[in-house]
Amino acid sequence: MESMEALVAHIEALSAIPEELPHLHSLLKQSEDALRSQGPGLAPLLLHQLDPSKHSLGYLYILEAYLSGPISSDQAGGFLLSVVDFINSCSGDQIRLAPDKFIQVCKRLKDQVMQLQVPLQGVALRTAIRKLQTSSEQLTTIHSDFLLLCILAKSYKTGLSILEDDILEVDQPRDLFLYYYYGGIIYIGLKRFRTALECLHNVVTAPMTTLNAIAVEAYKKYILVSLILNGQVPSFPKYTSSTAQRNLKNHTQPYIDLSACYASGKYSDLEAFIQSNVEKFQSDNNLGLVKQVLSSLYKRNIQRLTQTYLTLSLQDIANAVQLKTPKEAEMHVLRMIQDGEIFATINQKDGMVSFHEDPEQYKTCEMAEHIDSTIQRLMALSKKLRSIDEQISCDPAYVSKIGRERPKFDFDDFDSVPHRFI
């Protein structure tokens, strides 16, 4: 009890002076065991004495010790409030001294929120991410937790602000897999399939030495989204780890078969295939996506017709894409025109559809601006790329490794006559 009070006094005294923070940190570390044994009982009292915004570091340690014990359900509401309060008001500089503790607290918050089934209350984690990050390129463990809560709360838009950052620095590979997997799901939920595909692509092609379940699930979704978006599944790019190339297909057989069936372009076949495998898709929670694959086949087939025909009657369209009535065909064509997926006009008098070329002439100001902005973005990117290249080629580890692999120059290398002529 005494020591606890002394500790609180230290916290209050040292927190204000930035130079003394490391000292405080070591003090806190020393008293960690004591905190753990006595903390759960005393914590509410101690926490009351501290100001989360000024004494963030000490507050964090005590809070963590408090949370390491069990929390009864009637305390839970108050607990949530105090943690969220802390996250919102704490000082980033102080908590970054003890990131492990902070992450622990956040994890407890996530668990509680999920247990109470109020995922929306976990939105505070977004603030936590921002406070924990040193730059927006850094991926923290909280990222994936936050995205998971967003998915559970079905508030996909909340997750976007995190997903739109470019992630470059990663601590744990697992965080990355989860981050992009959840990211893929969120984009699928928002029907932004292109970005969803990018996220899933990152999971599938990420370096891995052993196969993991996240990658397998991601590959399943990757296949489905590829079909919706492009009508075909690309083969693995060559930088994909050999583990993934060798094993992923074995674990996703129904999906591979589905894509083969899709390629044949026959609606009835695909429908039958999905019907016969419905339990598998259901158990993977992918049935909704599979149904979207099925309906995308209509679109794809209609799009194919625009490549071949200038005019075509609705009846012929219905026959070609296996729709029952010309009316349905008209609905589909109409929707695709509205969505800008095809360029066509329907002549209702004689039931003809005329397909047009893309009317975009690349002459408008907006287009010029768009092109210009793209160029600017790419230039910035290539600048970055060059600087990274320079960095790597100056990296001593890299240089010494390359030097070792390449044999030393000897006299023969400078011989102007190639060997085969000698």
Q: Using CB under 8 A, list all residues that contact other proteins.
A: 166-171, 173, 176, 198, 201-202, 205-207, 239, 304, 307-313, 316, 350, 352, 354-355, 357-358, 360-362, 371, 374-375, 377-378, 381-382, 384-385, 388, 397
Side-chain-side CA neighbours of residue 57 (13 Å): 26
In angstroms, the first-to-last Cα distance of the chain is 90
Angstrom distance (rounded) from CA 10 to CA 24: 7
Nearest C-alpha neighbor of 336 from the set 320, 328, 233: 328
Distance between CA atoms of residues 322 and 267, nearest Å: 7
Shorter beta-carbon distance to other proteins: residue 229 or 385 = 385
The helix/strand/coil state of 337 is: helix
Q: Which is nearer to other proteins, 110 or 143 (CB)?
A: 143
Question: What's the rounded Cα separation, in Å, for the pair 30 and 33?
Answer: 7
Distance CA(155)–CA(80), nearest Å, equals 20
> Which of 200/258 has CB closer to other proteins?
200
H or E, element range at 35: helix 32-49
Compute the least distance from the CB of residue 370 to other proteins, in Å: 8
Among residues 72 and 209, whose Cβ is nearest to other proteins?
Answer: 209
Residue 168 or residue 331: which is nearer to other proteins going by CB? 168
Q: Which is nearer to other proteins, 291 or 383 (CB)?
A: 383
* Burial class, 346, CB count within 10 angstroms (exposed 0-12 / middle 13-18 / buried 19+): middle
State the amino acid at position 288 in one-letter form.
G
Minimum separation from the CB atom of position 29 to other proteins (A):
21
User: Closest approach of Cβ 51 to other proteins, in Å?
Assistant: 37
For 157, the 3-state DSSP assignment is: helix
Pick 272 or 378: Cβ nearer other proteins: 378
Residue 381 CB, nearest approach to other proteins (Å): 6
Torsion angle, alpha carbons of 292, 293, 295, 297, to 10: 160
| Residue 396 C-beta: closest distance to other proteins, Å | 12
Question: From the CB of 196, what's the least distance to other proteins, in Å?
Answer: 13
Q: Return the bridge partners of 353, or none.
A: 312, 346
Question: At closest approach, how far in Å is the CB of 376 from other proteins?
Answer: 11
Residue 241's contacts (CB-CB under 8 Å, 6 or more residues apart) are 205, 206, 207, 208, 209
Contact 90, 53 (CB under 8 A): yes
Closer Cβ to other proteins, 250 or 319, answer by number? 319
3-class DSSP assignment, residue 169? strand
| For other proteins, the closer CB: 15 or 202 | 202
Closest distance of CB 312 from other proteins, Å: 5
Cα 263 to Cα 296: distance, rounded to the nearest angstrom:
12
- Joined together, the tokens standing for residue 372 give 């210009």
Token readout for 342 is 């095809």
Question: 3-state secondary structure string, 89-150?
Answer: HCCHHHHCCCHHHHHHHHHHHHHHHHHCCCHHHHHHHHHHHHHHCCCCCEECHHHHHHHHHH
Closest separation between CB of residue 320 and other proteins, Å? 8
Measured from the CB atom, the residue of 55 and 299 that comes closer to other proteins is 299
Instruction: Give min distance, CB of 315 to other proteins, in A.
Output: 11
